[in-house]
Structure 1
């Protein structure tokens, strides 16, 4: 099981959009996948067509973590009611551990070392999935750190802008410091460039800057600025099933990125 955190220490860069695009690619490829929505705003859950009911949310089980407890709260994404490959059988698995404001109790800077094992604990023994995607909060909190502690890879999402490049530097520096604790080590990390416009010189400059800063850690292909993504999310629909050229380009690039993640 490959566990991947989608992270950024700057809000508004499309972190949840990247999580959803990768989930769509996994669904299209028939890869059994779980999306864990750690962000208290629960945007990924909304776009996947699910919501928390009662205590069936990720924040609730992280209060008193028990081995394998995530399996008790997962629900199927609404996307699976309309398979991307209609002839696929059995129906592809795309489950969600819904997010909610309940997880705010861990969305804080202060934490104890034992807190960082909470997510790892609730995932222990769960073997239903080949891929787990964790949508992290846009800040360096206990929630973000426990996601990193449970992950095999961390992807930092960046827009080609001055402030986003600075946010990516903070994310990668924080990740290096986290690994330096020697308690946890993330085997791999990368930077996904999102919402890039090829006809905008400022974007080209910032993309070059990201390459200079992070070299081979920059993930290819780059994701274009495609307004259709807002329509896709508003409809709670996978981008791989959305009509039109913009969606097709996005879908192809997400599939390519996913293939690289799973190597």
Structure 2
């Protein structure tokens, strides 16, 4: 299983929307996917239309990373009612906020990786993190093969990207940085153009093709449908960008043609 963390040190950049877009792209190519909703707001769980009740949620899994708990926390996404196992979710919970310590213990950092080893019957895992660099995000890094850093084109986000990359780089045998994604980008804004170029000057090729600010993304969320299910041309263009983004985050493993042996392996 290839495991990818989607994270940001700053709120309001559309990190969960990116996670949902990647889940839609994975579903479009029939890639069996598990979304782990680590954000206490649980927006990914809602966006993936999870209605099935489970005995446990992500907070319980992190506290007790045993197979019986992990398996009982997995619920199907409402996007795929007729294809069980193709897109599943470990549901988010407000209780996970109590586990987002600024200085977590080693055992806490290892719990998610241990739990995902019990759920390795998917091809891809997407870990949607809270907008912070606390214990939940750090445990996701520990469990991941790759990290996607989401930003917007603003002054404060540039600083947040720098902090995130510095912390990932400081990890011993840390995950690969798949890239920095500027979300909700408006090229008509001089300020946003300036900040995008600033990011490129600081982080070079790590800065990926920006995602434009398009109504198709909130429309798909409002309809409770994957982005790729929308028919308008503008929606399909955004879906194609998420297809390319999925290629980027999977790139190393696709080129190697091997099952990843890294953190999430």
Report whether the alignment pairs 1:108 with 2:101.
yes
Cα deviations across residues 223-250 of structure 1 (Å, max 9, x unaligned)?
A: 1011231121122210101132331111
Q: Which residue of 1 is the match for residue 243 of structure 2?
A: 255
Q: Which residue of 1 is the match for residue 115 of structure 2?
A: 122
Inter-partner Cα distance in structure 2 for 1:91 and 1:137:
27
Q: Which residue of 2 is the match for residue 59 of structure 1?
A: 59
Structure 2: any 5+ residue segments left out of the alignment? 252-265
Scaled by the length of structure 1, what TM-score is found? 0.90
Q: State the Cα distance separating 1:189 from its structure 2 match.
A: 3.7
Q: Which residue of 2 is the match for residue 235 of structure 1?
A: 223
Q: State the Cα distance separating 1:54 from its structure 2 match.
A: 5.8
Scaled by the length of structure 2, what TM-score is found? 0.89
Distance 1:205 1:68, change over 3 A: farther
Q: State the Cα distance separating 1:199 from its structure 2 match.
A: 1.9
Structure 2 residue aligned with 1:205, among 188, 194, 197? 194
Distance 1:46 1:122, change over 3 A: same
Inter-partner Cα distance in structure 2 for 1:213 and 1:68:
45
Q: Which residue of 2 is the match for residue 163 of structure 1?
A: 156
Report whether the alignment pairs 1:246 with 2:230.
no
Distance 1:29 1:92, change over 3 A: farther
Q: Would you say the 8 A contact 1:136–1:143 is kept in 2?
A: yes
Q: State the Cα distance separating 1:91 from its structure 2 match.
A: 6.4
Q: State the Cα distance separating 1:31 from its structure 2 match.
A: 0.4
Report whether the alignment pairs 1:96 with 2:84.
no
Q: What value does the CA root-mean-square deviation take over the aligned residues?
A: 1.8
Q: Would you say the 8 A contact 1:51–1:98 is kept in 2?
A: no
Q: Which residue of 2 is the match for residue 86 of structure 1?
A: none
Inter-partner Cα distance in structure 1 for 2:190 and 2:225:
32
Report whether the alignment pairs 1:185 with 2:174.
yes
Structure 1 residue aligned with 2:210, among 209, 213, 222? 222
* Paired residue total: 251
Structure 1: any 5+ residue segments left out of the alignment? 83-89
